[in-house]
Structure 1
Amino acid sequence: MRQFTLKQLRYFVVAGELSSVTGAAKKLHVSQPSISAAIQHIEETTALQLFVRHHARGLSLTPSGRQLLQRARNLLREADGLQQFAVSLGEEVSGELRLVAFPTFAPLYLPQLLRRFTDLHPAVSLYCDEKTQLGIVRGLSRGEYELAFTYDLQIPEDMDFFGLYRLPPYAVVGADHPLSNRESITLEELVHFPMVLLDWALSREYFLSIFTQRGLSPRVAHRAKSMDMVRGLVGNGFGFSLFNTPLSAFGRLTPGRPGLKAIALRDEARALSLGIACPPALRLSPAAEAMRTLAINDEGHVAGFDHPDRPAKSQPED
Structure 2
Amino acid sequence: MRPFTLKQLRYFVVAGELSSVTQAARKLHVSQPSISAAIHQIEEATGLQLFVRHHAQGLSLTPTGRQLLTRARQLLRDAEGLEKFAASLGEEVGGELRLVAFPTFAPLFLPQLLRQFADRHPAVSLYCDEMTQVDIVNGLQQGDYELAFTYDLEIPDDIAFIPLYRFPAYAVVAEDHPLSEKDRIGLAELATYPMVLLDWPLSREYFLSIFSHHQLLPHVAHRAKSMDMLRGLLANGFGFSLFNTPMSAFNAADNARLKALALEDDAQPLTMGLACLRGLRLSPAADAMRQLAQEIDTITDVFGASSAVTSRT
In structure 1, distance between residues paired with 2:281 and 2:79: 10
Is the 2:136–2:148 Cα contact (8 Å) retained in structure 1?
Answer: yes
- CA shift digits 1:264-308 (9 cap, x unpaired): 111111111111101122222222222222221143546431242
Q: Could you say which residue in structure 1 is the equivalent of 2:192?
A: 192
In structure 1, distance between residues paired with 2:228 and 2:203: 14
In structure 2, distance between residues paired with 1:307 and 1:223: 32
- Structure 1 residue 139: Cα displacement: 0.8
- CA shift digits 1:199-228 (9 cap, x unpaired): 111111111100110011112222111111
* Aligned pairs (5 A) from 1:110-121: 110-121=110-121
Q: Is the aligned partner of 1:130 residue 2:127?
A: no
- Structure 1 residue 43: Cα displacement: 1.8
* Aligned pairs (5 A) from 1:6-25: 6-25=6-25
- Structure 1 residue 261: Cα displacement: 0.9
Report the secondary structure of 2:99's partner residue. Answer: strand
Report the secondary structure of 2:266's partner residue. Answer: coil
**Matching residue's letter, 1:24:** A
Q: Could you say which residue in structure 2 is the equivalent of 1:58?
A: 58
Q: Could you say which residue in structure 2 is the equivalent of 1:291?
A: 289
Q: Could you say which residue in structure 2 is the equivalent of 1:313?
A: 312
**Matching residue's letter, 2:264:** R
- Structure 1 residue 244: Cα displacement: 0.4
Is the 1:78–1:283 Cα contact (8 Å) retained in structure 2?
Answer: no
| Backbone CA RMSD of aligned residues | 2.2
Is the 1:169–1:271 Cα contact (8 Å) retained in structure 2?
Answer: yes
- Structure 1 residue 184: Cα displacement: 1.2
In structure 1, distance between residues paired with 2:32 and 2:142: 26
* Aligned pairs (5 A) from 1:166-245: 166-245=166-245
- CA shift digits 1:211-255 (9 cap, x unpaired): 1100111122221111111111111222111110101111xx224
In structure 2, distance between residues paired with 1:157 and 1:313: 17
Q: Could you say which residue in structure 1 is the equivalent of 2:268?
A: 270
In structure 1, distance between residues paired with 2:192 and 2:89: 62
Q: 1:21 to 1:219 in 2, by over 3 A?
A: closer
**Matching residue's letter, 2:36:** S
Q: Which has the higher contact order (CA 8 A, sep 6+)?
A: 1
In structure 2, distance between residues paired with 1:74 and 1:175: 50
Q: Could you say which residue in structure 2 is the equivalent of 1:164?
A: 164
- After alignment, is 18-27 or 204-213 more displaced? 18-27
Is the 2:81–2:96 Cα contact (8 Å) retained in structure 1?
Answer: no
Report the secondary structure of 1:3's partner residue. Answer: coil
Give the TM-score of the pair, scaled to structure 2. 0.90
**Matching residue's letter, 2:183:** E
Q: 1:215 to 1:55 in 2, by over 3 A?
A: closer
In structure 2, distance between residues paired with 1:15 and 1:104: 35
Q: 1:92 to 1:269 in 2, by over 3 A?
A: same
Percent of aligned positions that are identical: 69
Report the secondary structure of 1:308's partner residue. Answer: helix
Q: Could you say which residue in structure 1 is the equivalent of 2:93?
A: 93
In structure 2, distance between residues paired with 1:74 and 1:232: 41
Instruction: Give the number of aligned pairs.
Output: 312
**Matching residue's letter, 1:155:** I
**Matching residue's letter, 1:211:** F
In structure 1, distance between residues paired with 2:82 and 2:277: 17
Q: 1:9 to 1:172 in 2, by over 3 A?
A: same
Give the TM-score of the pair, scaled to structure 1. 0.89
- Structure 1 residue 97: Cα displacement: 1.4
Report the secondary structure of 2:273's partner residue. Answer: strand
**Matching residue's letter, 2:219:** R
**Matching residue's letter, 1:153:** L
- Structure 1 residue 258: Cα displacement: 4.5
Is the 2:82–2:94 Cα contact (8 Å) retained in structure 1?
Answer: no
In structure 2, distance between residues paired with 1:293 and 1:88: 22
Report the secondary structure of 1:8's partner residue. Answer: helix
- Structure 1 residue 123: Cα displacement: 3.1
In structure 2, distance between residues paired with 1:221 and 1:53: 49
- Structure 1 residue 55: Cα displacement: 4.0
User: Structure 1: 5+ residue runs without aligned partners?
Assistant: none
Q: 1:267 to 1:307 in 2, by over 3 A?
A: farther
In structure 1, distance between residues paired with 2:170 and 2:63: 46
Report the secondary structure of 1:45's partner residue. Answer: helix
Is the 1:165–1:307 Cα contact (8 Å) retained in structure 2?
Answer: no
In structure 1, distance between residues paired with 2:254 and 2:221: 25
Q: 1:13 to 1:51 in 2, by over 3 A?
A: same
